[in-house]
Amino acid sequence: MAENYYNPTYTFLNTAFSGQTSVNQVQKLIESKVCTRRRKGFFWPEEGKNEIVIFIDDLNMPQKEKYGAQPPIELLRQWMDNGGWYDLETKEFKNLCGISFLTAMLPPTGGRNFVTMRYLRHFNLIYVEPFDSESLIKIFSNVMEWYFIRSPKPFSKAITSLKDNLVVSTI
């Protein structure tokens, strides 16, 4: 679920949400990286690091509960609104400092849900327009040509002549 990247000044945490992502899972994962207590109730990334960058892929994948909330997203929103959340064991508020979030998601379809504006207001949104068919054909054709040229064993003419059909089939 998580992958680390070593950098001397900041910590990086990479994770992806799914339909089965639970709020406790997310909280424990983030707390495992923001664990250095500098004073009562205030926690920072590991010693010697000033910040943690948390990347969450498929942000809109957690299932909605009965009343429409997505608990993992509500936990993140609580941090963005209040700077922390309540400890699962002691029930005391934990201020989590030095965190930056970066997220990605596809439009809400096929198991992906709408994310509330109440949460999205905390982000700068960037939308990338899907490529048109002509652009995709050009991209995949160039990739196939490069592959045929760079291959250690040359492909037969019968195989290379299938390039256009392979590109159309891929798209």
Token pair belonging to 24: 């406790």
pLDDT band for position 85 (cuts 50, 70, 90): very high
C-alpha distances out from residue 76 to 26, 50, 86, 107, Å: 9, 20, 12, 20
pLDDT band for position 56 (cuts 50, 70, 90): very high
Paired residues of 56 in beta bridges:
15, 103
What is the arithmetic mean of pLDDT over 85-90? 93
pTM of this structure: 0.71
C-alpha span between 141 and 11 (Å, rounded):
39
**pLDDT for residue 22:** 94
> What confidence tens digit (pLDDT) does each residue in 61-78 have?
999 999 889 999 999 999
**pLDDT for residue 17:** 95
Amino acid sitting at position 121: R
28 phi/psi in degrees, rounded to 5: -65, -40
What is the arithmetic mean of pLDDT over 135-153? 89
What is the arithmetic mean of pLDDT over 8-34? 91
C-alpha distances out from residue 7 to 15, 18, 24, 61, Å: 17, 27, 27, 29
3, pLDDT greater than 60: no
Q: What fold is seen in the domain 3-120? A: Rossmann fold (3.40.50)
Average predicted confidence (pLDDT) for the chain: 89
**pLDDT for residue 23:** 95
154 phi/psi in degrees, rounded to 5: -65, 140
- Looking at per-residue confidence, does 49 or 29 come out higher? 29
Q: Where are the domains of the chain?
A: 3-120, 133-170
Within the chain, strands assigned E span 3-5, 10-16, 36-39, 42-44, 51-57, 84-86, 93-96, 99-104
CA-CA-CA-CA dihedral for 138, 104, 14, 19, to nearest 10: -110
Q: Check: CB of residue 45 under 8 Å from CB of residue 33.
A: yes
